[in-house]
């Protein structure tokens, strides 16, 4: 059982590493979006540091969103999704492995390079810690929620933007709590409350989302 989990994660990572660009791309996208904002908004450092957490979070969200389509789509097209649904292992379990692989490939790199971007956007160190923490807790929730959206839309052609339509409203609470945490940190306040809230959401998502994803897939593929 655990073997299969590892195998699924392994295969997904392998397929991604085969296409080296698939690993670097989300990071690049993220960097580019973050740099777009100073370009579009002007270059005043105080303005920038004020909007920085919001911009980084929105960029992370968009990067996640863009990469979601990949999550099940390829598997759907080549038929491995069907095969996964016909496997004797619980679908929710297999699906969790896929979500984990996806998080490792898209959000982890973003987490790793966020210090660089903090410099770009003149973010203070306190706010930066808070930002990293919220990204660490928040992005897995995004991945899990996103996977539900993907599972619902995977059977449809033109699912791409429909997906963002479904997913963005779901992820707004995470965005709000996270940016509130960062703002609190920037103004020297205690932000533990927000972080705990996010952590509670994460626990909820990890226990419930896999079943929702599995159910959604059974609806989509029929």
Residue 54 touches which of another protein, a copy of itself, none (Cβ within 5-8 Å per kind):
a copy of itself
Among 1, 2, 46, 86, binds another protein (CB under 8 A): 86
Please give the Cα distance from 138 to 26 (Å, whole number). 17
Among 4, 13, 22, 85, binds a copy of itself (CB under 8 A): 22
| Angle CA 21–23–26, to nearest 5 | 95
Helices 91-120 and 20-41: crossing angle in degrees, nearest 10, is 40
Three state DSSP letters for 99-167: HHHHHHHHHHHHHHHHHHHHHHCCCCHHHHHHHHHHHHHHHHHHHHHHHHHHHHHCCCCCHHHHHHHHH
Q: If binding is defined by CB under 8 A, does position 154 make contact with another protein?
A: no
Q: If binding is defined by CB under 8 A, does position 203 make contact with another protein?
A: no
Q: If binding is defined by CB under 8 A, does position 119 make contact with another protein?
A: yes
- Residue 29 vs 211, nearer CB to a copy of itself: 29
- Residue 146 vs 210, nearer CB to a copy of itself: 146
Return the SS3 of 37.
helix
Q: If binding is defined by CB under 8 A, does position 162 make contact with a copy of itself?
A: yes
**Residues contacting a copy of itself: total by CB under 8 A:** 44
Residue 187 DSSP one-character state: T
- Are residues 94 and 4 in contact, defined by beta-carbon separation less than 8 angstroms? yes
Residue 136 touches which of another protein, a copy of itself, none (Cβ within 5-8 Å per kind):
none
Binding to a copy of itself (CB under 8 A) within 48-67 occurs at 50-51, 53-55, 57-58, 61-62, 66-67
- Cα–Cα distances in angstroms (integers) from residue 208 to residues 88, 111, 142, 172, in the given order: 21, 25, 14, 19
The encoded tokens of residue 38 equal: 């100073």
Q: If binding is defined by CB under 8 A, does position 200 make contact with another protein?
A: no
Q: If binding is defined by CB under 8 A, does position 130 make contact with another protein?
A: no
Locus of tokens 């579009």: 40
Q: If binding is defined by CB under 8 A, does position 9 make contact with another protein?
A: no
The encoded tokens of residue 81 equal: 């999704």
Q: If binding is defined by CB under 8 A, does position 158 make contact with a copy of itself?
A: yes
Binding mask 165-194 for a copy of itself (x = CB under 8 A): x--xx--x--xx--x---x-----------
Among 84, 105, 133, 135, binds another protein (CB under 8 A): 84
The region of 2-10, 33-41, 136-144, 195-203 touching a copy of itself under the rule CB under 8 A is: 33-41
């Amino acid at each position: 059982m655990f073997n299969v989990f590892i195998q699924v994660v392994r295969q997904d990572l392998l397929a991604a590493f085969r296409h080296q660009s698939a690993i670097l791309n989300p990071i690049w996208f993220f960097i580019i979006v973050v740099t777009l904002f100073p370009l579009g908004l002007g270059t005043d450092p105080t303005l920038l540091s004020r909007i920085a957490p919001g911009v980084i979070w929105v960029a992370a969200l968009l990067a996640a969103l863009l990469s979601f389509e990949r999550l099940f789509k390829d598997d759907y097209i080549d038929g491995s999704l069907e095969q996964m649904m016909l496997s004797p292992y619980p679908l929710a379990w297999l699906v969790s492995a896929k979500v984990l692989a996806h998080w490792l490939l898209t959000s982890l790199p973003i987490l790793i390079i966020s210090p660089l971007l903090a410099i770009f956007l003149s973010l203070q160190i306190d706010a930066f810690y808070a930002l990293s923490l919220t990204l660490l807790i928040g992005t897995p929730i995004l991945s899990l929620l996103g996977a539900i959206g993907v599972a619902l839309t995977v059977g449809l052609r033109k699912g791409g933007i429909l997906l963002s339509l479904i997913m963005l409203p779901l992820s707004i609470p995470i965005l709000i709590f996270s940016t509130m945490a960062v703002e609190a940190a920037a103004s020297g306040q205690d932000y533990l409350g927000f972080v705990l809230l996010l952590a509670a959401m994460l626990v909820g998502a990890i226990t419930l989302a896999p079943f929702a994803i599995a159910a959604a897939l059974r609806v989509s593929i029929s």
